[in-house]
Structure 1
């Protein structure tokens, strides 16, 4: 059997994020509801490519640490609509309880960049991030900020083996900042070539990744605000001091420069 995401009591298995070709269904993962495990897959790598928190996948599929999975196994990537409807019916008339039991990845999706009214609502919701629950993910990201200062030395590429994000170079210790409000769903160094890595979930569709850190300043399950200091720039997993930054929408890599504001 293949080991999935490790518990915190044993070293995590090493996988390579850039090797998307190991996933025959990679392009469909963002919209898929199930995935058939192939050789070399881990629960964490499947979660990353499909835009999920690995702990949610473990819960949905009733997997316990160390999250062992095997080739041919079919994993659910989303909560079932049937289950969600039952919760709403049972809790009808009790708004607060419905909210507390909503899935992290609800079936209904909304696109990035909607009305100002929705943006204001999200801002209010995010005031006390440390007390938020999984159901508090906003419908869209209302603000993107640059994750660090420095020179962009690597551009996004659509080619199969191209750069899936951007690389920003600066001196060791330069602050790494959360690019948007969200929850830290992974911290560690289990991905070959990415060194000390942080992954933050912002909505049911958007994730960001921050690689090659010298030091990580947040923990898994922490809620962070835009511009919050989350790490220090380093060269872990690479020969150059830099931040490798990715944005993924429904599991698919997108060009961060399309989302980040113009620099002054």
Structure 2
């Protein structure tokens, strides 16, 4: 599980807080015919445009001097190009970034921007299986970034394999120096670590640690931050919470109950969920990850020693 590199890439950190309006405006749909009874104003079309009542995709494109097809591709819109009042559109040729939305995948984003999945993954340093998260900001232009994953080591021949028993999961190797300026993280749960960060038996990989728990026990925020995701759309993670702490993101998976909602600000130690075994978990546990941007780091390097 999370061997799938946070299928993270759905949902970084980083996730979209969906706002609700007091009244539900009717959807603003694009039409092929645009009224030309009045000359269009000369708007100041910056890198972003907020949809107003009466706007259409073709109308916005005409006013801003861009092709409507480019505008649709830039914002990952498809027919019938429905817009809603208050929606923010990114202009083609502006800031070359894309914010991941719920239901997105890397392949679809890449194709909609005239790229291959491999190109987009390389620019953003995202390893296979190309997991992204709602709210995560992807660079659409730039040079490839190195993917920080554990180096693959060929399996030794049977006669060369060590016979000694590997150290238990609760006794990890001495961690390296954590990144300066990282938040002061605390343990999300007091249970024993039953799976460490990194390579796992069978060639799998764990992007966090697994902490033993009992059903219903509190899962707490490791640092103050904003809830950027709370749901179960990421296959394998079950009921998942993502918190953003500036440039850092923490993940809490396999919960039985979620106690927070998207957009909520929480303090360190706040109960955000109850432990469980949802998703692909084979036992009750708290799967906990720390990511710097989209890159997973070993949580034991950043958590206080017990």
TM-score, normalised on structure 2?
A: 0.47
Paired position in structure 2 for 1:77:
138
Paired position in structure 2 for 1:148:
189
Query: Residue deviations 1:186-238, cap 9 Å, x none?
Result: 011111111100000001x2100000001100000000110111111011112
Q: What pairs with 1:223-242 in structure 2 (closer than 5 Å)?
A: 223-237=265-279, 238-242=281-285
* Selected match of 2:207 from 161, 164, 168: 164
Query: Residue deviations 1:128-148, cap 9 Å, x none?
Result: xxxxxxxxxxxx52x211001
* Closer/same/farther in 2, CA of residues 150 and 77 from structure 1, 3 Å limit: same
**Following TM superposition, by how much is the alpha carbon of 1:53 offset from its aligned partner in structure 2, in angstroms?**
2.7
Q: Could you tell me whether the CA contact under 8 Å between 1:175 and 1:231 is conserved in 2?
A: yes
Give the Cα–Cα distance (whole angstroms) in 2 for the partners of residues 236 and 21 of structure 1.
15
Paired position in structure 1 for 2:14:
52
Paired position in structure 2 for 1:178:
221
Paired position in structure 2 for 1:19:
4
Query: Residue deviations 1:89-120, cap 9 Å, x none?
Result: xxxxxxxxxxxxxxxxxxxxxx9544xxxxxx
Query: Residue deviations 1:12-64, cap 9 Å, x none?
Result: xxxx8543499xxxxxxxxxxxxxxxxxxxxxx4464x543345997554898
| Cα RMSD, aligned residues only | 3.4
Q: Which runs of 5+ in 1 are unaligned?
A: 1-15, 23-44, 81-110, 115-139
Q: Could you tell me whether the CA contact under 8 Å between 2:249 and 2:291 is conserved in 1?
A: yes
Give the Cα–Cα distance (whole angstroms) in 2 for the partners of residues 211 and 170 of structure 1.
12
Q: Could you tell me whether the CA contact under 8 Å between 1:149 and 1:174 is conserved in 2?
A: no
Bigger radius of gyration among the two: 2
Q: Could you tell me whether the CA contact under 8 Å between 1:198 and 1:209 is conserved in 2?
A: yes
**Following TM superposition, by how much is the alpha carbon of 1:77 offset from its aligned partner in structure 2, in angstroms?**
2.4
Q: Per the alignment, in what secondary structure is the counterpart of residue 257 of structure 2? A: strand
Residue 258 of structure 2 corresponds to residue 216 of structure 1: yes
More helix by share: 1
Q: Which runs of 5+ in 2 are unaligned?
A: 19-73, 76-87, 91-97, 114-119, 121-136, 142-177
* Closer/same/farther in 2, CA of residues 20 and 65 from structure 1, 3 Å limit: closer
Paired position in structure 1 for 2:291:
248
TM-score, normalised on structure 1?
A: 0.54
